[in-house]
Structure 1
Amino acid sequence: MAMDKKSLFYLLLGASGLFLVVFAQYLGSISGQRVVLVSTTFENGSLAYLGDISINTSALDPEDGIYLKVRNRLSDLLQMVNGTSKNVRRVASGKFKKGFYYNRDTMALINDDNLLTNPNIVQSSPLYTLSKVSSIDSSFARQSDSTSAPSKNAGDVTSNANIKERSNAAEINGPDSPGRYAMNDSCVSRNTGLEDILCMRRPTFLPDYRNPCWYEAERLRCMPYFHIIGVCKTGTTDLFERLSHHPEVIKNRGIMGKETWFWSWKRYGHAQFYRRNEPYMRLDEFINLFDGQTISSIRQTMANGSVFHPGVTGHGDPMDFYDLTSWRHIAQNDPRADLPAVTTPRLVHHVNPEVRLILIVRDPVERLFSNYLHARFGETSRDFHLDVTSSLQVLRNCTSSRSMKACLYDERVFRQLKTPISGSFYSIHLKEWLRVFPRQQMFITRNEDFAADIAGTLLNIFRFLKLDPLPTSSLYRVANIPHYYDTKARRTAGGIRPETRAVLQELFRPYNEELATILGDQRFNYNIVHARSYVYNTDNIWG
């Protein structure tokens, strides 16, 4: 393949990348030629700067791989212009579109139009001369999203060790991580002003703790063992409070001992549907909300004389399920794209891959009305009807040219909505979480079933969390605790107007059907069973 004589080809040094970018731009301006920048000296060929094009050279077919190491001398760089290697000629000869880059997290070749999204089958295109992509950042590719987390029973300390060893091996930087979450200096990404979660190394979790914990400068620190991800106004607060009555469950230091607001809001400097600015929260501050000392104090002596710590902590941030609208601030995403490659689930998985997720859903219309009143979007059923009408028009305008998912995940669209309607599109958001976490790692139930059988639901969740069983008397004592939280505004707002309910049921119809299909359970098809939901007292709302 002939060398493109209108392009100068350079290889960037890892430590000198920024300087060379400036130099290349200067060279291009004085020569009138197009300068193509490619990085090979970063870890696993990861990219530092996009320029006109950046590619992960370690992802090429082994026979076509670029293994050239450029030194500091300018003559070594200029020598590459002649391109004696077929590999260099092949890459440099293409007519590359600006904005094309390699996404490390999704292992997908994508450009401005997201043309190529399959990491394993990349077909030829007139825009690109790369014919084959096999992998990207091999250590990252070792992570498996399709296998369920092994059991972490108290008596299986050896199994716990294996789990931690496997988790550590799947890190972006391999097994030599320090005893803390630390930035990998050789990991490179777009600078967004926020800490890059996907460029962080996980510590090695302790095998004698059920909860993911580690020692950092002789201080025990812990991540959450479980995460109630959603949804707002489905009973998450009531559930979390009841779970905390188990002697092995420890509340966090956040709001009500439950909420941190980290993943969806405070990490990006906002809260409460963008209506409030917050100081930016870093991962280290999030970790500080979990009480390692109390976890350490819960001890069991095993038959072999070893000590095991069965205590766990968790958090419940019900907006995390659906408020994924800050994705353009995640370094691995192209902010000009219509849809994200990386969202909150991927970030959560990267730092805590075995976290157990709990999701409660509820009749989507009832959930929306309760959330609307609780978050003070409005006060009456009349307000609700008017604001639903406005929100539907916003979504109609957007979906005339884009997918519903793209509209719901667009911060600008989200800000225009006068109701928290996004949270009721359950299937869209569930698919996003299931892209990353295996189904076996999620406990999913309905608010209606929780209300009808609190004891049974708690029993199943304790089993899901691998906690020691409660005595029957204690279980029913916890089940009979009065509801922890009521939406008092529901009592004075009046019922949902029939015309409002009808239009919302029609809107959610296909998503209800899809949810039931995903879960293989028609109880989740609220088109069929919504009438049963009203058997329960909808004026006494939990969460």
Structure 2
Amino acid sequence: MKANPFQSHLLSNMKYMWLFIVSFTMIIIIILNSQVFIFKLWTKDVYSDQIKQRIDLTYWRFNYTDPDDLDDILSLKKPNYLKTYKNPCWHEALYGSHSSNIKFVLRCLPYFYLIGADKCGTTDLFLRLLKHPEIIKTKAYFSKETMWWAWTRFGYSVFTRGLSPTHFLGYLKIFNSAITQIQARNDPEDYHQCIIGDGSPNALWDFTGWNKIPQNHGLTLPKYLTPHCIHHLTPDAKLIIILRNPIDRLFSDFLFVREKHKAFKPSQRVRSRENFHVQVVNATNNLKKCIHKNSLKYCLFNKIFHLDSFLRFEVGFYSVYLKEWFKVFPRNQFYILRSEDYRENMKKHIKNIFKFLNLTKLPESDLNKIKVGKLINTRRKDVKHVKPMFNKTRKLLKDLYQPFNNELAVLLKNDKYRWET
């Protein structure tokens, strides 16, 4: 039976219509997918403009082959810090299972560091600085010490090594609670004025992890130290240092540290001026033996030497360490004071440090409240029975430290740092 000419024409047109519909649908799908792709790229570019940097998921994550591998800080790219934050903060992009699932997390590093020295009044000073409303407390020990730059990132502690290292992310997490407050507190122009600090007093002097910094591998003396690592990430960091007569500092440290660390034998834990004298003699003899074969810097920067001494007398060589910091940071980024001057005029120095940190000026009444109260972390009642050190011990330490005190006075252009009286 012959097909109706009309039916044949209709069937032919339907074929073309279906072909048109399929082609049109495919074109629409292609266009829509292209728009989605373009939109994703556009939104990523917009985010890049907003945060000034596209930070990959691997920004602070290192390729660890072993959990005890150390972070290579000097290989990190310095973040482009947000201009609306006074504190060095940046947005980090975290990607989900799909590339379009982007979550931005605010990360921050300290605006300032109180880097030392131990038993010089760092705790009292730092806790009084925290009373300024623009300095936010962190989850650091005593709201002050992370011990990360000198110790925990290398798996060290006082008189201890071989611990599992704390990685960079662990350091950043210490500041998470403070970051929430920094983020929430802003002025009408959306500028975030609040800051955080790290008050680890061992950062000034303990460079014993230098041989674990990858850029120092194969060297007999370090090329890169803690100052280089901090400067690499926060070159504008403010640095505060409070120093004390190294002789008095050592005796105070002897009474403070010795009582609580299992590294000491029972006989070494005795807190007396007799035991202090014995330990000073041993430590000075060990130093003489070490520098007979090596340089002073090699000995002071050597973890084994620190562990063998059982007395942190190496802290008092202030000029040796300060010269390393001055090689990296300009002098105007330091505020340096003596413990003796801080005790004599606390209000003056706190006021000056607030100015140094570019914080909002406080009324005199607020400054008076901040200086009120006894000094924190001074000698406790259970060691007040210990008599002052022997004169012969003081003379031995004066002979040891005086050349370096003189060097420090020249370095800081202030004869008070000779501690001659």
TM over 0.5: yes
Structure 1 residue 394 displacement after superposition = 0.6
Is 1:292 the counterpart of 2:179 in the alignment? yes
Matched letter for residue 323 of structure 1:
D
Residue of structure 2 in register with 1:211 after alignment: 87
Which among 241, 245, 256 is matched to residue 363 of structure 1? 245
For residues 137-536 of structure 1, the aligned pairs below 5 Å read 178=55, 182=59, 193-216=69-92, 217-274=103-160, 278-290=163-175, 291-301=178-188, 306-335=189-218, 337-376=219-258, 378=269, 379-488=271-380, 490-526=383-419, 528=420, 531=421
Residue 120 of structure 2 aligns with an amino acid whose one-letter code is T
Q: Deviations over 1:110-168 (max 9, x none)?
A: xxxxxxxxxxxxxxxxxxxxxxxxxxxxxxxxxxxxxxxxxxxxxxxxxxxxxxx9xx9
Q: Is the 8 A contact 1:364 1:424 kept in 2?
A: yes
Q: For residue 503 of structure 1, report the CA deviation from its aligned partner.
A: 0.6
Compute the displacement of 1:218 (Å): 2.2
Give SS of 2:241's match: strand
Give the letter for the 1:178 counterpart.
I
- In the TM superposition, residue 437 of structure 1 has moved relative to its aligned partner by 0.8
Question: How many residues are treated as equivalent by the alignment?
Answer: 346
Q: Secondary structure of 1:440's partner?
A: helix
Dislocated runs of 4+, deviation >4 Å: none
Larger RCO (alpha carbons 8 Å, 6+ apart): 2
Alpha-carbon distance, 1:523 to partner: 1.1
Partner of 2:42: none
TM-score of the superposed pair, with normalisation by structure 1: 0.61
Judged with a 3 Å threshold, the aligned counterparts in structure 2 of structure 1 residues 277 and 406 are, in CA distance, closer, same or farther, namely closer
Give, in angstroms, the shift of residue 484 of structure 1: 2.2
In 1, the alpha carbon distance for the partners of 2:294 and 2:124 equals 37
Where 2:328 maps in the other structure, the secondary structure is coil
Alpha-carbon distance, 1:415 to partner: 1.5
> SS state of the match for residue 107, structure 2?
strand
Give the Å deviation of 1:209. 0.9
Report the residue type matching 1:286 in the other structure: Y
Matching residue's letter, 2:257? A
Higher helix share: 2
Q: Matched residues in 2 for 1:206 and 1:176: separation? A: 9
Please say if residues 60 and 169 of structure 2, whose CA atoms lie closer than 8 Å, have aligned partners that are also in contact: no
Aligned residue number for residue 14 of structure 2? none
Supply the AA of the counterpart residue of 1:326. Answer: G
Larger Rg, first or second structure (1 or 2): 2
User: How far has the Cα of 1:490 moved from its partner?
Assistant: 4.2
Q: How far off is 1:220 after superposition? A: 1.7
1:418 CA displacement: 2.1
User: How far does residue 285 in structure 1 lie from its aligned partner after superposition?
Assistant: 1.0
Equivalent position of 2:30 in the other structure = none
Give distance in 2, aligned partners of 1:330 and 1:277. 16
Provide closer, same or farther for how the CA distance between residues 397 and 448 of structure 1 changes in structure 2, counting only shifts above 3 A. Answer: same
1:179 is displaced (CA, Å) by 6.6
1:410 and 1:386 mapped to 2: Cα distance? 22
Kept in 1: contact 2:300–2:314 (CA 8 A): yes
Is the contact made by 2:118 and 2:253 (CA closer than 8 Å) also made in structure 1?
Answer: yes
What pairs up with 1:32-111 in 2 under 5 angstroms?
none
CA distance in 2, matches of 1:254, 1:279: 18
Q: Contact 1:387/1:418 (CA < 8 Å) preserved in 2?
A: yes
Q: Deviations over 1:398-442 (max 9, x none)?
A: 111222111111122121112101110000000011111111111
Give SS of 1:229's match.
Answer: strand
Deviations 1:481-520 (A, max 9, x none): 3222222154122101100000100111110000000111
RMSD of aligned residue pairs (Cα, Å): 2.2
* 2-structure distance, mates of 1:385, 1:499: 8
Contact 1:179-1:215 at 8 Å conserved across structures: no
The one-letter code matched in structure 1 to 2:287 is L
Q: Which runs of 5+ in 1 are unaligned?
A: 1-164, 169-174, 532-543
Whole-Å separation in 1 of the counterparts to 2:56 and 2:132 = 30
Percent sequence identity over aligned pairs: 34
- Aligned mates of 2:82, 2:274 — CA distance in 1: 55
Over 3 Å counting, the alpha-carbon distance change for 1:181 and 1:477 in structure 2 is: farther
Q: 1:396 to 1:177 in 2, by over 3 A?
A: farther
Residue identity in the other structure for 1:409: F
**Contact 1:325-1:410 at 8 Å conserved across structures:** yes
- For normalisation by structure 2, the TM-score amounts to 0.78
Q: Distance in 2 between matches of 1:486 and 1:448?
A: 14
Residue 325 to residue 355, structure 1, CA distance change in 2 (3 Å): same
d(CA) in 2 for partners of 1:407, 1:263: 20
Q: 1:259-295: per-residue Cα shift (whole Å, max 9, x none)? A: 1111111101121132x65431111111111121111
- Tell me the CA shift for residue 389 of structure 1: 0.5
C-alpha contact (below 8 Å) 1:180/1:214 kept by paired residues = no
Deviation at residue 184 of structure 1 after TM alignment: 9.8
**Secondary structure of 1:459's partner?**
helix
